[in-house]
Structure 1
Amino acid sequence: MKESVDLFIRRHGILHSGETVLVAVSGGADSLALLHYLSSIRSQWRLRIMAVSVDHQLRGDQSRADVQFVKDVCREWNIDFVDMSVDVAWYKQQHGKGTQEAARELRYQVFNRVMNTYQADVLALGHHGDDQIETVLMRLVQRSRSGAVTGMPIARPFGRGRLIRPFLSVSKQDILQYCASHHIDYREDPTNQDPAYTRNAFRLQVLPFLKTQNPQLHRHIQSYSERVRAEEEYLDSQAEKVLDSSVTFTEKPVKVELKIPEFSAFPFALQRRAFHLILNYLFRGAAPELSYAHEESFFLLLSSEKPNVSLDFPNGLHLIREYDHGIFQFTSVQEPESYAYRLQAGEEVRLPDGSRLRADLTEELDKQEGPFVYLCDSHHVSFPLYVRTRKDGDRIRPMGMKGSKKVKDIFIDEKIPAAKRKTWPIITDANGNILWIAGLKKGEAWKTATAGTWLRLHYHKREKDL
């Protein structure tokens, strides 16, 4: 086994000469074999080896005896030893975690603190090839995304240094034989035989059959995991190009906006991967596991013939489509408030979105009025004016057209998102005649003379909307 692990370490470059290595040791065969192996190469690699044991306080005297056992072994092997206790029962109650999840979080918090205290470069864990099989199978069964089925990494950043798993190339049987040949005593955790825990069920009920089909399955799965991880990294780099060209990220508030035509032009596999990168951004790398149905709903939203569609995703995430524009946001979808303001000549009103609308009387007719200025003969307008939101049944007589048209139809023709229609400013006179859908459609103008007093309306949109 030693030769196999030596080759694995050198091939992946996970250990360097002169480092301080912190070894997580529970007292079981895996961690003690790892501690013995690293101790055997410490002179060759000029390593400082330390062991850390964590008492989770879940098995009373038995778990305390495990820690004492490891302490005695470290004294015999001349290895520095650190032990710490954590209160898993309290932590799971405070944070609503399961026992296994709470124990793991607290254990890794301890590892991080000890690494910092002793300036360790590496945290070494005793996960082996059979553990990798279990991990891949569990993730394959429980998760929908290919990137989540890569197995445990051989090495990754952790704390002030990195975490390594030197035993991923060997099986549990290899480790037991190593312990036997080196006369290493170890302790068994009785909870490892309880099939109520999912991982134990895979270990006890699934692996034995798979091993009969392929005794070297641990090597096969480890090779598969390495290949998939490398391919995942490449595909993620390609998906970043999708994001760069079609997606905008906002921090305050946290929001993502995408241009649907540009996004949809990329190969579907990259769209799907970009979708999950967006989720990682929104959830800060801790995105909830989504089912195939969630993913499918997203792509149905993109291809929907309806111009305005929305979806509710887990953890309060909302997906909204507004024509060719898609939005991911956490803000709750609330009905916007309607408004109505009186407006006399010489006055200005500020609207809820920060835009402004001003009314003035002028004797000079501006030939270059543009889309944000409306002019009409003031003698045909009843004051005061009103600036308000749309009402059911609103109609306008558009400039240059015979007859009237529904304001609702104009919004649809102009592809105004449904959410914006409810707060779009509409200007009427005192009799309720719609003069202008601000910045969008002008009502019939009474320019019957070249001289006289004119009403000039000027709509100042927010700078970000221009």
Structure 2
Amino acid sequence: MKDNLLLKFSHDWEGLIKSPANVLVAVSTGVDSMVLCDLLLHLPLKIRPEVSVAYVDHQLRKQSVEETAFIKDYCQKKHLPLYHYTWPKKDHPQTGMEEQARRMRYAFFEKVMLQNKLPYLLTAHHANDQAETILMKEIRGGDLKQLQGILPKRPFAQGFLLRPLLNFSKAEILAYAKQHQIQYFEDETNQQDDILRNRIRHHIIPQFEQENPLFLQHMQDFSEQLQDLFAVAAVSVAKVKNDLKNGTGYDLAGWLNIEPYMQRILLKDLLAKNGTFSKKQADQCLKLLLNPKKPQAQIALGSDYFFVKSYRSFKIEQKKPQAENISDKPLKLAVGKWYSLDNGARLGVFLKDKVELLSSDDVLESANPHFWLRHRQNGDMMRFAAYHQKVKKILIDQKIATERRKQLWLLVNDQGEVVWIIGVKKSDLSQASLNDKMQYIVVFRNNGRKEV
């Protein structure tokens, strides 16, 4: 038994790690992790890793004192470095014990890896764990990506988390431990049916195995096939995202032109990259993108995240509270002086013959030099030769996003009328040298960068 099982383990191990390495093994003193340690220590020398052990005393059971003494003795006899942490009872939560304990363990494992420059963490998840996890995900949600179950290898800390026993059943592990007299401790809570995983373990999986003895292998095959499909899909999604990338967001017209299935997949990928959001929220975002009657809007996703649709583009952004730094107080412009705006742009009022223009400069000619510079205010009107128009309507017509409107600079005359929305639209008061009274010129120099 040992030779056959070790041969299978050796083959799987070489598929996970191409060369000998230092590994940290998460050990609970249960049969799974103790068998994993034994298999690692009996690998052929050319592929055998340097093994360190990480153990957490949760202080949840009386026998934890005995278990802690056992693992210390085991590591001493095997000459294995042991990293031990005791979880103080005062830190135990009132609810959600299982999840909080898991978070605490992995935080400890990560700390050990970083401090000791260990590139791999190993856990003893096996084929039964895989089947239990997939069934739990199906019962609780049905998200296809979650049905991949437990991955054999994923990034963790500065290295990777490996599960080298995924192709081994619990029965194989128990048989190995019995034949080779491997000492371990049984957690009595594993026999209770008060949690979903245990109910699946004790009642559902045995029924599936009665129907088909290859059930566990089929579940592992199912997981591997899904992993392959998602890997292929990720390449396609990455290409589409790159093609649609538009500044800080994604091109809406381009998104509307792709197939509906790719629209949904891309949207789901964007949401997944920014947090954990519900299917209902994803459906709301999809509905907004497909609604031409709402050219700009945003959906609160939680945790200060927002899905933002803004005319030609869409994006997910996290808005952080910040102090207001935009003043509505007009700034009087002096003749012959440049004023810095945003992103390196400049604006100034000059006598016509006192400034050398560049081909990319945008200008407005004027009979007088009295101008002020400020941001938009409620009720702003823009002056034209024959009429006035609300600045708000101009910005809507130009499809200027709400956030961008707050940042725009306005050139205002003596009467408080807007004569130029910088980078967007200017009045027709400039006669371009047809009127000798136009002695002054307002210059917007933006080095050719497109504003809107």
Q: What range is the shorter-chain TM-score in? A: 0.7 to 0.9
- What amino acid is aligned across from residue 280 of structure 2 in structure 1? A
Aligned to 1:308: 296
Aligned to 1:439: 423
Q: Secondary structure at the match of 2:303?
A: helix
1:88-103 correspondence to structure 2 within 5 Å = 88-89=87-88, 99-103=97-101
Aligned to 2:381: 395
Q: Contact (CA 8 Å) 1:123, 1:162: kept in 2 or not?
A: yes
| Greater shift in the superposed pair: 313-322 or 354-363 | 354-363
What is the distance in 2 between the residues matched to 1:160 and 1:371? 50
What is the distance in 1 between the residues matched to 2:206 and 2:271? 37
- What amino acid is aligned across from residue 326 of structure 1 in structure 2? F
Q: Secondary structure at the match of 2:393?
A: helix
Aligned to 2:60: 59
Aligned to 1:406: 390
1:168 positional shift? 1.7
- What amino acid is aligned across from residue 251 of structure 2 in structure 1? K
What is the distance in 2 between the residues matched to 1:406 and 1:449? 28
Aligned to 2:364: 374
The yes-or-no answer on 1:424 pairing with 2:416 is: no
Q: Contact (CA 8 Å) 1:356, 1:459: kept in 2 or not?
A: yes
- What amino acid is aligned across from residue 456 of structure 1 in structure 2? I
1:264 positional shift? 3.9
1:71-82 correspondence to structure 2 within 5 Å = 79-82=78-81
Q: CA 1:90 to 1:29, structure 2 compared with 1: closer, same or farther past 3 Å?
A: closer
Q: Contact (CA 8 Å) 1:348, 1:356: kept in 2 or not?
A: yes
TM-score (norm 1): 0.78
Q: Secondary structure at the match of 2:148?
A: coil
1:183 positional shift? 4.0
Deviations 1:263-288 (A, max 9, x none): 44344444444445545655xxxx3x
Deviations 1:283-315 (A, max 9, x none): xxxx3x221122223323322322221122232
Q: Contact (CA 8 Å) 1:50, 1:79: kept in 2 or not?
A: no
1:45 positional shift? 5.9
Aligned to 1:33: 35
What is the distance in 2 between the residues matched to 1:390 and 1:117? 53
Aligned to 1:42: 43
- What amino acid is aligned across from residue 362 of structure 2 in structure 1? F
The yes-or-no answer on 1:338 pairing with 2:323 is: no
Q: Contact (CA 8 Å) 2:370, 2:414: kept in 1 or not?
A: yes
What is the distance in 2 between the residues matched to 1:365 and 1:59? 80
Aligned positions, number: 445
The yes-or-no answer on 1:451 pairing with 2:441 is: no
RMSD of aligned alpha carbons: 4.1
Q: CA 1:186 to 1:367, structure 2 compared with 1: closer, same or farther past 3 Å?
A: closer
Q: Secondary structure at the match of 2:235?
A: helix
Structure 2: gaps spanning 5 or more residues: none
Q: Contact (CA 8 Å) 1:307, 1:322: kept in 2 or not?
A: yes
What is the distance in 1 between the residues matched to 2:120 and 2:409? 62
Q: Secondary structure at the match of 1:313?
A: strand
- What amino acid is aligned across from residue 298 of structure 2 in structure 1? S
- What amino acid is aligned across from residue 342 of structure 1 in structure 2? K
What is the distance in 2 between the residues matched to 1:161 and 1:20? 11
What is the distance in 2 between the residues matched to 1:89 and 1:239? 45
1:316 positional shift? 1.7
Aligned to 1:128: 126
Q: CA 1:155 to 1:191, structure 2 compared with 1: closer, same or farther past 3 Å?
A: same
Deviations 1:11-30 (A, max 9, x none): 67236686666544322222
What is the distance in 2 between the residues matched to 1:15 and 1:200? 32
Aligned to 2:145: 147
Q: CA 1:114 to 1:330, structure 2 compared with 1: closer, same or farther past 3 Å?
A: closer
Aligned to 1:460: 445
Q: CA 1:264 to 1:93, structure 2 compared with 1: closer, same or farther past 3 Å?
A: farther
Aligned to 2:352: 362
Aligned to 1:14: 16
What is the distance in 2 between the residues matched to 1:422 and 1:142? 44
Deviations 1:113-150 (A, max 9, x none): 77789987765432111100122223344556433331
What is the distance in 2 between the residues matched to 1:55 and 1:333? 39
| Greater shift in the superposed pair: 204-213 or 296-305 | 204-213
1:368 positional shift? 10
- Which residue of 161, 186, 194 corresponds with 1:188? 186
Aligned to 1:253: none
What is the distance in 2 between the residues matched to 1:367 and 1:71? 80
Q: Secondary structure at the match of 1:431?
A: coil
1:80-229 correspondence to structure 2 within 5 Å = 80-89=79-88, 99-108=97-106, 111=109, 123-142=121-140, 145-156=143-154, 163-204=161-202, 206-229=204-227
What is the distance in 2 between the residues matched to 1:308 and 1:49? 57
- What amino acid is aligned across from residue 459 of structure 1 in structure 2? F
Structure 1: gaps spanning 5 or more residues: 250-255
1:34 positional shift? 3.1
| Greater shift in the superposed pair: 417-426 or 215-224 | 417-426
Q: Contact (CA 8 Å) 2:249, 2:314: kept in 1 or not?
A: yes
1:348 positional shift? 4.9
1:417 positional shift? 1.4
What is the distance in 2 between the residues matched to 1:113 and 1:368? 58
Q: Contact (CA 8 Å) 2:271, 2:282: kept in 1 or not?
A: no
What is the distance in 2 between the residues matched to 1:428 and 1:159? 56
Q: Secondary structure at the match of 1:13?
A: helix
What is the distance in 2 between the residues matched to 1:367 and 1:157? 55
